[in-house]
Amino acid sequence: MTTSNKLKALALGLLSLASVNTFAGPPPTSAAVGTPAYDAWKASQYPAASLSGTAITTSVNNPSNATAPGCYFAPDASYTSMPGTDDGSVGPISIPFGFNFYGTTYTTCFINNNGNITFGSSTSSFSPAGFPSGTSYKMIAPFWADIDTRVGATVKYKIETHRIIITWPGVRRYNANSAGSGSLLNTFQCILTDGMDPGIGIGNNVAFYYGDMQWAYASSSGFGGAGATVGMNAGNGIDYLQIGRFNQSGNAYDGPAGNADGIDYLDYECFTFNVGAAGNQPPSVSGAPAGNTITIPAGTTATLNMSFLPPEVGQQVSTLINTGGLCNTVINTNTSGTVSNTSVSITGDACNVGTHHIIYTATDDFGTPASTTVDITVIVTPGANVPTISQWGLIILCLLSLTIGMIFIYKREKTIAVN
């Protein structure tokens, strides 16, 4: 192990260890998931007060393909539904391609009800840990939390030749129904690919897509604890990425570590990753338009708001923006730090009609930096063509108007003379 990797595993990993949820230990060996003995043991792990009381009610928005902003797309009848469960799993599921994860190729995986996918073994863990040192699971976690699908929506997945789509389409938190807070729902999905799926971008092999996210913890309010974990972990204490730990309402966000994050930060977000190789991972991007393309009608203005995150704890990221010669285009914001936020306004002026490219290059500050390049295609469409009148056309129009006027006057005077 290199010195830089040791520092990464020790110094950065300590931040993740500090936020691990604490419970009394594993269930009795005789208590299998789904049995009454297991249910009784699990209920004892939470303070009684956290599972009772009045729920905070928010609007429920379980997006469909037609209405959802962002990238999330709702499952259809072609998906397979997991049985409703508390902490259950399905698998091993055969992957019809070699899925590369931090330098290891996997051909099977497990889908775990609690918002994650694992390799090598399933997990019933409902106590999300920070990455990398909080757990040894080889895990991809679009939203690792205590999910209960015994009532309501269940996890759905679809296996295709080049990708696997796993969706949690409006799921509840643990024990939500008995506590009366079943109105809080989370909608999100994870896509694993062979790296050749244009839907998430050629070269990327994982995507996290979110609908409306409304809870983060198994309490009547839906919030508390150390927080749900979003990220990936190779299980070796070195290779990982973490988007954040979410345990409160609102959209507060300060990067992969630090303060607890707000669940609304994830609403309708789209994250894509390339985690095929071991080592420092490049910054991830959120806020990119679908297909990395934006169309702007003439006479209008569009604003691109994109953020770049250094997935590893403790890193900083900075972004270079090349506007590609677009005229009257303004970079409103371009910050560096634990999150690099950018905002670019583009006008649909005549000088921009046609196809252009805005190139973003985000780079972290690790010992051997890693970069992410995003190419946004900008299409400015022309406005409606307004007919022009030539000089000869104007003369003819004037003569025609004069002739019509003279005829009208002549007929009027003739009528008066006759009378």
CB 182 within 8 A of CB 152: yes
Give tens-digit pLDDT for 97-124.
999 999 899 999 999 999 999 999 999 9
3-state secondary structure of 227: coil
The residue with greater pLDDT, 44 or 217, is: 217
Computed over every residue of the chain, the mean pLDDT equals 78
How many secondary structure helices (H) and strands (E) does the chain include?
Answer: 5, 22
Give tens-digit pLDDT for 293-302.
889 898 888 8
pLDDT of residue 392: 61
pTM for the full predicted model: 0.70
What DSSP character marks residue 12? I
In terms of average pLDDT, the best of 69-73, 317-321, 324-328 is 317-321
pLDDT of residue 293: 86
Quickly state the pLDDT bin for 408 (edges 50, 70, 90).
low
> Which residues, in sequence order, are CB contacts of 406 under 8 Å at separation 6+?
none
pLDDT of residue 167: 97
CB 86 within 8 A of CB 150: yes
Q: What is the average pLDDT across 80-92?
A: 92
The residue with greater pLDDT, 354 or 418, is: 354
pLDDT of residue 20: 44
pLDDT of residue 7: 38
**Domain covering 290-381: architecture:** Sandwich (2.60)
> Beta strand pairing status for 206-213 and 116-118?
unpaired
Give tens-digit pLDDT for 228-244.
999 999 888 888 888 88
Task: Report domain extents, the chain.
Answer: 3-279, 290-381, 390-419
Q: Quick check: 11 pLDDT over 70?
A: no
In terms of average pLDDT, the best of 153-167, 198-212, 256-270, 295-309 is 153-167
